[in-house]
Structure 1
Amino acid sequence: MTAAFTFPGQGSQAVGMGKALADAFPAARAVFDEVDAALGEKLTAIIWDGPAETLQLTENAQPALMAVSLATLRVLESEAGVSVARDAAFVAGHSLGEYSALAAAGALSISDTARLLRTRGRAMQKAVPVGVGAMAALLGLDYDTAVAIAAEAAQGQVCGAANDNGGGQVVVSGNTEAVDRAVEIAKGRGAKRAMLLPVSAPFHCALMQPAADAMAEALAGVTINAPLVPLVANVLAAPIISPDEIRRRLVEQVTGTVRWRESVTFMAGQGVKLFVEIGAGKVLSGLVRRIADGAIGTAVGSPNDIAGVKDAIAAARAG
């Protein structure tokens, strides 16, 4: 049985995440200390003590989620003998989780990743004035239908598929009026539910081009190494290892669709049966089980999860 390591995206954050790991394991604490030093501030105080509305700010949530994922991975390495190079056929992450995946696979340093995500969060927030853009979840429709609805709703504005999450869940993003139209059209096309999401900006659509430009500049200034194992890129749903291509696809990702359903389908088609979600929450584990028949999705983000995930990875290693 083959394993893949996956890393969660924005929305999985919660005040207090990662604190039990940091309290119990020096390897986890070291990651949080490194992130604080890289940012020149105590992000850990916000992660562990809140308030929630401050943690939810995009510029904080993105590096915070990465910090929890990498702290969790370091504990898996030190306490469970887990090795990305040996135990993972692929790494993949949902949106910002792609940066966590690259740090986990040694393509980016933790310090550079923290600074990149702080830049990314600020740039995505600034790209579109509040109220101009929106996102909505269309549930119970396949991807092609959702894309057609978004195209019909655009009417000269921006409206497109931002996330193809799988399990009949597609998120559309764009100008507020166009997204409102998409919600109404979807309700008439048999969607189980169609609802606006409580987000601060319209991520993963053409309105994010200023943020993509900012990330192109930021990424040009950091060292990217070939990852220990291939990254299944959001915008391709296919594996990449070239540092130059990684840099290019991370820029494209800001305005492009997160092709999560296809990414999981690809990995399952390559023999992956165990998907280990590393970090906060269990969103990706739930999606995996709805996308790939027979796949095992397991999440690790607290000390209580370590033993079970160690056993699951050992079983995968043994085949």
Structure 2
Amino acid sequence: MRAFLFPGQGSQAVGMGAALAEASRTARDTFDLVDEALEQNLARLMRDGPEDELKLTENAQPAIMAHALAVYRLLTIDCGIDLGKSAQVAAGHSLGEYSALCAAGAIDLATTAKLLRTRGLAMQAAVPVGEGAMAALLGTDLELARRIAEAAAEGDVCEVANDNDPGQVVISGSFKAIMRAIDIAKGMGAKRAIQLPVSAPFHCSLMQPAADAMETALGATTIARPAVPIYCNVTAAPESDPDHLRANLVAQVTGMVRWRETIAAMAEAGVEEFVELGGKVLGPMVRRIAPDMRVTSVVTIDDIEALAKEIA
């Protein structure tokens, strides 16, 4: 079995998609569709920057999706690969879940771009800049990360946001609590604790206003049954029912991204090959979770053509 994976925030970089657009009409059409939906020249921002503007959550989220879907559409349209025949399941990390749903035909590309713009703006607006923070706890498992978060909270919000792999857990919450967690983490057994360069505390209860905004937006969105089951972040389980997918996307805003459990569940279900489309961040995580699995990261035209030949 093969799984297609789609990256989340942090995969953005100035120049992303430029080579794809130069080589393929399909990639250019993908970026044009997203630009039209957003009424913004996002493709130019992706290609030329500035980096600070691209890193804004409202831009980074649709940009990462657009890049991943350009890779996917090159694979399917230009190379003739069918998702339902070439992969049995799919998943995405945080915003990547929207990319997975779009690739699987559950949400169209223009709607996906608009939803991610709404999501990015809502997440940024939920907590004033400087009042929230996130930190990566390295050499830490989920149980230890929870103990560190509980010890650091002191009445403030400090919660596990991402259980990424056996040695990397991300916490999120109020700035003061996250700083306390960084201070005490090593003494409690973590190898390192690093504040992340993000503008809001994602995937914690402080994001409830953003969850409310996404409940409204998703409530007005038509979601079709995906071509393959999507493993959802908040359940680490496969789902195909549109109403359940919608509810999970809402819960995901404040809920923990259970990535380690997701990959482990896929492997237990029989997935032997993981293909990351549009990034190189998830591959190393997968290798740490399931060392015996085959992992491929597909970003360039050469990557796409090599994968197409393999699975044709």
Q: Verify same fold: TM over 0.5.
A: yes
Structure 2 residues without counterparts, runs of 5 or longer: none
1:141-152 equivalent positions in 2, closer than 5 A? 141-152=140-151
Counterpart of 1:294 (choices 281, 292, 295) is: 292
Question: For 1:311 and 1:286, how far apart are their aligned partners in 2?
Answer: 24
Q: Which runs of 5+ in 1 are unaligned?
A: 315-319
The alignment covers a number of residue pairs equal to 312
Q: 1:156 & 1:231 partners in 2: Cα distance?
A: 36
Query: Matched residue of 2:107: which SS?
Result: coil
Q: CA deviation at 1:240?
A: 0.7
Counterpart amino acid of residue 292 in structure 2: G
Partners of 2:180 and 2:250 in 1: CA distance = 29
Give 1:172 deviation, angstroms.
0.2
What's the counterpart of residue 178 of structure 1?
Answer: 177
**Equivalent in the alignment of 1:14:** 13
Residue in 1 that maps onto 2:242 = 243
What secondary structure does 2:194 align onto? Answer: strand
TM-score, normalised relative to structure 1: 0.96
Measure how far apart 1:37 and its partner are. Answer: 0.7
In the alignment, residue 35 of structure 1 is paired with which amino acid? V
Would you say the 8 A contact 1:277–1:299 is kept in 2?
yes
Match of 2:158?
Answer: 159
Instruction: Tell me the equivalent position of 2:135.
Output: 136
Q: Secondary structure at the match of 1:264?
A: helix
For residues 102-154 of structure 1, the C-alpha deviation after alignment (integer angstroms, 9 at most, x for no partner) is 00000000000000000000000010011111000000011111012111211
Q: 1:264-309: per-residue Cα shift (whole Å, max 9, x none)?
A: 0000111111111011x30101111110031111111111212322
Alignment of 1:1-319 (within 5 A): 2-279=1-278, 281-314=279-312
Cα separation, 1, equivalents of 2:82 and 2:150: 44
Tell me which amino acid in the other structure corresponds to 1:300: V
User: 2:276, 2:298 within 8 Å by CA — same for their partners in 1?
Assistant: yes
Alpha-carbon distance, 1:167 to partner = 3.5
TM-score w.r.t. structure 2 length?
Answer: 0.98
SS at match of 1:272: coil
Q: Is the 8 Å Cα contact of residues 3 and 313 (structure 1) preserved in structure 2?
A: no
Distance (Å, rounded) in 2 between the aligned partners of 1:198 and 1:20? 27
Deviating beyond 6 angstroms after TM superposition, the runs of 4 or more aligned structure 1 residues are none
Q: RMSD value over aligned CA atoms?
A: 1.0
Cα distance in 2, alignment partners of residues 48 and 199 from structure 1: 21
Q: Distance in 2 between the 1:66 and 1:28 partners?
A: 13
Instruction: Give the CA deviation at 1:226.
Output: 0.7
Higher mean C-alpha displacement, 19-28 vs 102-111: 19-28
2:37 and 2:113 in contact (8 A); partners too: yes
| Paired AA for residue 296 in structure 2 | T
Query: Equivalents in 1 of 2:311, 2:147: separation in Å?
Result: 40
Deviates most, 186-195 or 166-175: 186-195
Letter matched to residue 308 of structure 2: K
Deviation readout 1:230-283 (Å, 9 max, x if unpaired): 01000000011111111111000000000000000000111111111011x301
Letter of the 1:110 counterpart: L
The offset of 1:195, in angstroms, is 1.3
Counterpart code for 1:188: G
